[in-house]
Structure 1
Amino acid sequence: MKFLYSKSVLGIKLSGRLKRRLACFVLTCGLMGVSQAAELGAYMVQPASAEINSVAIGGTVIPFRSVVVSAQRGGRITQLYAREGTLLKFNQPIAALDDDVLRQQISGLNAEIEAAQSTLNYAIYAPDSAGSGMPGGVMGGMFSTMFGMPGGGSGVNEWLNRVNRIDQARARIKNLEAQKKALEAQVNYGAVTAPMDGIVTDRLVEAGEVVQAGQPLIKLAYVNQLRAEFDVPVDLAGDIAPGRSVFVKTAQGVMLPAPISEIAPAVDARTHTQRIKLDLPPGSGLRLGDYVELLLPRPLRADALGQGAVMIPARALMQGSALPMVRVIQGNGVLANRIVRVAQKLANGMVLVSSGLIAGEIVQVQP
């Protein structure tokens, strides 16, 4: 059995606690059967003694900027041009909303504006009530009153009443035209366009749906430049500063220099981490959602990271997991998944774990 260890295989001096754990492990193997334990590929976690050149923190590739495009008015979606993965240019059509009701309301306002304009024309050009029959309407009545010409009639009061009717007609026309412009703006809002260059990452509606003002339609991400986002534990965030250049490691092992662009002003009270964002270099070959690691240069010894610094085989890390994770073999033989923090990958096929495991525990090693 490859990973059933003796003292010489471990190459370390066993403490009392490790001896007890080893005895428990041997007892477990006896209960499970040696062949079953061998199939599990069990490994006893060793205390770390190597120096740490850097601490690796897992993160995700995110867009440089992302927006949620929402409807500016209610209506039924008649056309939906954007699909997931569609590349859009600034001001390119995304969707179209129906405008039949709005255009009918605009037609009604046009009729009211024509009627109000007719009322205004009559108030300006019609003969005065005294029946002078003089051309010029209100202006003719005004001059006849001032210079004692026929048609003065009731005098200044008649003239003021006519001026008031003219002002009211003009005010009504302005009000109707303002309503018309507001409806025309609502019609224009029915043509939803892209607010920036980007790719559609999520489509939240379908053609034919009735939406309300403010309802999200799609999510758009600017991907000409990418960023990486990490949640850094507070005990490792002391030397982080905007503009500082660090290294990001891709899943293929490529090292990319990246400056720190944003640092969250507050620490997450639940996870005790601080979120930072890095600007990735152009042409990195990364995609949205890719897993990357932030390498923080910290020339410290393993025991400086805390009491839990240990070493395990790299094959003990579960494949396909979003976060570094191992399977711990408990005393009753039951496997339990546990998240760990990988500080460094060593040259001998081992990895340095700064938290999540303690020396003497038994982990499963993948074949």
Structure 2
Amino acid sequence: MKRIVVLLALVATLGLTAWTLLTNKKEVEAKVYKPNPDQKVGVRTAVAELRNMSQESSFLGSFAPNREIEVRPMASGQITSLPIEEGQYVGTGKLIAKIDDEQLRYQVEAAQVTLEGYQNDLKRYENLVKGDATPAVNLERTQLSIRSTQAQIKQLQKQIAQTTVSAPFSGIVTQKMVEKGSVVSAGSPLAKVTDISSLKLVVDVPEKAINHFHIGQNINVTTEVYPNTQFPGRVTLIGAEGNAAHNYPVEITVQNSGKNLLRAGMYGSIANTNNMKGETLAIPRQAIVGSQKQPQVYVVENGKAVLKSVAIGATTNDYYEITKGLNAGDRVVTSGQINLQNGTAVVAQ
């Protein structure tokens, strides 16, 4: 009898538990949102159409001189002449500095006297050798002494020439580092000469735009100093290696003019228009869902949103080029995709 009571109590407990769970399940299901298949979701759309994907990009850089050099002497000594001032224009071969060469000239004079003595000895030995009055070896030694002295004189004359320091090219003296009377050593800087007859505008271009440039390309340069003037330039260098930010240096050479003189260090900018794409099928950037590796769009067909995979080409700030997956005239969803699933009924707002 006792066992029957326990069994009945157990069955009753299990039944109560099952009834409670079933009731809770119904309550939970009632609270869960179930979309109405007949209710349409409001979305915004745009039409896939042919667009000119040309885009203009502006790049800022600074002007560098065509050439710049620190003029350094190849001789040591005291500067006896320094006929330059900062800001002065100097032509090619213009005297920059003269170093004292007095001692070298004395050595040349002494070597010339020695050479004259050897030449006189040579004449005497030539006559004596003809009469067998002296060995021919004396004649040969004198000839060698003459050649050695002549080489010594040439070396001294080259050292004298090195005491004259000239401008290697035309330019402006942008820095004078010594004064007349200074004692300098070989290789020490005397002055800096800068050639700004043409300037090089160097700009950093991101990798997505680097293919828009090519060597020899003509491109206009503008500056804030002369806002109403465009300076014709030509691309002369495109960097083969980018920096950590994946930017590549592009160099545009600009011929300087006397009317609107550009100076090294000024800012300049270029506006490059990419006309390579022309007319191509494009949609707004907001229409793309998913990732760039697997882009998708919702296309409105027969009142429903149909999810389609597409292939992306060129991009601008506002549009993506579509190379595969859409046709001109397709209407794509640009807003409201978060409420959509493949096949959801939609209405354009």
Other-structure match for 2:147: 174
Matches within 5 A, 1:53-68: 53-68=55-70
2:168 is matched with which residue: 166, 183, 195?
195
Matches within 5 A, 1:302-341: none
Determine the C-alpha separation between the residues in 1 that align with 2:231 and 2:119.
70
2:201 is matched with which residue: 225, 228, 232?
228
Amino acid corresponding to residue 199 of structure 1 in structure 2: I
Determine the C-alpha separation between the residues in 2 that align with 1:223 and 1:166.
60
Question: What SS does structure 1 have at the residue aligned with 2:208?
Answer: helix
Deviation of 1:268 (Å): 4.2
Compare 81-90 and 105-114 and name the one that shifted more.
105-114
Note closer, same or farther for the CA distance 1:114–1:219 as it changes in structure 2 (3 Å cut). Answer: same
Question: What SS does structure 1 have at the residue aligned with 2:250?
Answer: strand
- TM-score normalised by the chain length of structure 1: 0.54
Question: What SS does structure 1 have at the residue aligned with 2:75?
Answer: coil
* Residue 97 (structure 2) pairs with residue 124 (structure 1): no
Determine the C-alpha separation between the residues in 1 that align with 2:230 and 2:273.
14
Other-structure match for 1:218: 191
Deviation of 1:274 (Å): 2.2
Deviation of 1:248 (Å): 1.8
2:98 is matched with which residue: 78, 91, 96?
96
**CA-based RMSD:** 3.1
Deviation of 1:216 (Å): 2.9
2:252 is matched with which residue: 275, 278, 303?
278
Structure 2 stretches lacking a partner, 5+ long: 1-52, 278-282, 287-315, 318-349
* Residue 158 (structure 2) pairs with residue 185 (structure 1): yes
1:292 is matched with which residue: 268, 290, 293?
268
Asked if 2 retains the 8 angstrom alpha-carbon contact of 1:197 and 1:222, the reply is yes
Asked if 2 retains the 8 angstrom alpha-carbon contact of 1:64 and 1:227, the reply is yes
Note closer, same or farther for the CA distance 1:73–1:303 as it changes in structure 2 (3 Å cut). Answer: farther
Other-structure match for 2:129: 138
Note closer, same or farther for the CA distance 1:82–1:261 as it changes in structure 2 (3 Å cut). Answer: farther
- Structure possessing the higher radius of gyration over alpha carbons: 2
Note closer, same or farther for the CA distance 1:261–1:52 as it changes in structure 2 (3 Å cut). Answer: closer
Other-structure match for 1:32: none
Listed one character per residue, the Cα deviations across residues 93-146 of structure 1 (whole Å, up to 9, x for unaligned) are 111101122122223312322332343234233xxxxxxxxxxx22122xxxxx
Other-structure match for 1:253: 227
Post-superposition, which runs of at least 4 consecutive aligned residues in structure 1 deviate over 4 A? 298-304
- The percentage of counterpart residues that share the same residue type is 26
Structure 1 stretches lacking a partner, 5+ long: 1-50, 126-136, 142-157, 305-342, 345-367
Listed one character per residue, the Cα deviations across residues 211-237 of structure 1 (whole Å, up to 9, x for unaligned) are 232333222222233332223233331
Listed one character per residue, the Cα deviations across residues 14-63 of structure 1 (whole Å, up to 9, x for unaligned) are xxxxxxxxxxxxxxxxxxxxxxxxxxxxxxxxxxxxx9953222211222
Determine the C-alpha separation between the residues in 2 that align with 1:270 and 1:176.
61
Deviation of 1:86 (Å): 0.6
The count of corresponding residues between Structure 1 and Structure 2 is: 227
Determine the C-alpha separation between the residues in 2 that align with 1:71 and 1:175.
27
Question: What SS does structure 2 have at the residue aligned with 1:60?
Answer: strand
- TM-score normalised by the chain length of structure 2: 0.57
Determine the C-alpha separation between the residues in 1 that align with 2:197 and 2:88.
14
Determine the C-alpha separation between the residues in 1 that align with 2:248 and 2:202.
11
Asked if 2 retains the 8 angstrom alpha-carbon contact of 1:242 and 1:259, the reply is no
Note closer, same or farther for the CA distance 1:73–1:272 as it changes in structure 2 (3 Å cut). Answer: farther
Amino acid corresponding to residue 76 of structure 2 in structure 1: G
Matches within 5 A, 1:28-43: none
